Each structure stands twice: as C-alpha cells, then as structure tokens.
Amino acid sequence: MAHNKAVTGKPMDKPADPPFWQVKTLEEMTPSEWESLCDGCGRCCLNKLEEEETERIFYTDVACRLFDEGSCQCKDYPNRQATVEDCLQLTPEVVPVTPWLPPTCGYRLIAEGKDLYWWHPLVSGDPDTVHAAGVSVRGRVSGTEETISDEELEDHLCDWPMEVPKRARVRT
C-alpha cells in the first residue's frame, strides 16, 4: 500500500526524475551525457566491408588497430580520427544515417525512440554487464588490422554484430 500524507501524516516522497536518455533527444544531450550512451561493446570498432553493387555492409570479426580487446575501448580515443582515417565520429546527425550501427547501440536506440537495454551501464550501474550479457566483442575478435590483412577480411565475415544475443534480451 502506498503511503501518503493523508494516511501517515508525513509528506510523500517526490518521484525520481526519469533518466536523461528517456527525456532528451541526442541533440539536447551534454557532451558527458552523449559519451555515456556508449555501452562499451566495441561492435562499431569492428572492420566492415561494403559490397559496391548493393552498398550492403558486412561485419568482420577483425577490430581496428587501436582497439583493446580486453577493455573493449580505444587505445587512443582522443586522437583516434587523426590515426585511423575511416574512424567515424558519431554525432546526432550521423547516427540516424549510419545503417551499420548495431541494434543494441545506445545511440541508435535513443535515435529510434527506444529505451536502453537492462545491461547498458547507465541502466545497470555496472560497466561489466555489457560483457556478461554477451553483447560486447570481448573474446570474439580474431585479430586486428595489424595482424589480419585487407585481403583476408572476407575470410572473417560474421553476422553476430547485427544481432541481439538471447541473454541480452531478458534480464537474468
């Protein structure tokens, strides 16, 4: 039973404000809020191939040369675009027109008017839930651009980066 002032004689607790990602658009977020939308999965750091005739995008299990598989983070995030020519900086304008963002991506979800999954660090409060839910690339990368040549990339095609793992769909 909910207690209110009429029943208990005490003032009611003020309901908590909804989290920023549920009330703000991508354009309205502060830089700190924007950066926190990244769940740290590393899927966007995987190399992708584009079929020229169809413009279809294919993921590989080969990571960017700056990717640290253990932490699932960039080894040189502030300078990544100067180092990696085709590193895409996500912005509110770029997110809606980037079809290869994984269906689990916080930026994509918010742009589509959806909520974050239970395992997202902003929801769970724990940066390791993205790994526990099987969403991150940890343990699934076969190498980096430094160890696998462009000619070998077709041998490393995979579908899982564009899928939502079963254990990530339902809170355990």
> Quick one: the chain helix, strand, coil %, rounded to 5?
35, 10, 55
Q: What's the pTM value of the predicted model, to 2 decimals?
A: 0.86
Rounded Cα–Cα distance for residues 86 and 11 (Å): 56
Amino acid code (one letter) for 136: S
Rounded to an integer, the average pLDDT of 119-134 is 96
Higher pLDDT, 165 or 170: 165
What pLDDT was estimated at residue 8? 52
What pLDDT was estimated at residue 170? 79
Quick check: 30 pLDDT over 50? yes
What is the torsion angle, in degrees rounded to the nearest 10, for the CA atoms of residue 80, residue 64, residue 167 and residue 131?
-60
Each residue's pLDDT tens digit, 40-76: 999 999 999 999 999 999 999 999 999 999 999 999 9
Rounded to an integer, the average pLDDT of 64-93 is 92
Rounded to an integer, the average pLDDT of 4-13 is 54
Quick check: 88 pLDDT over 50? yes
Name the least confident of 13-27, 89-103, 110-124, 129-143.
Answer: 13-27
What pLDDT was estimated at residue 15? 73
Mean pLDDT taken over the chain? 91
Rounded Cα–Cα distance for residues 148 and 151 (Å): 8
Rounded Cα–Cα distance for residues 15 and 17 (Å): 6
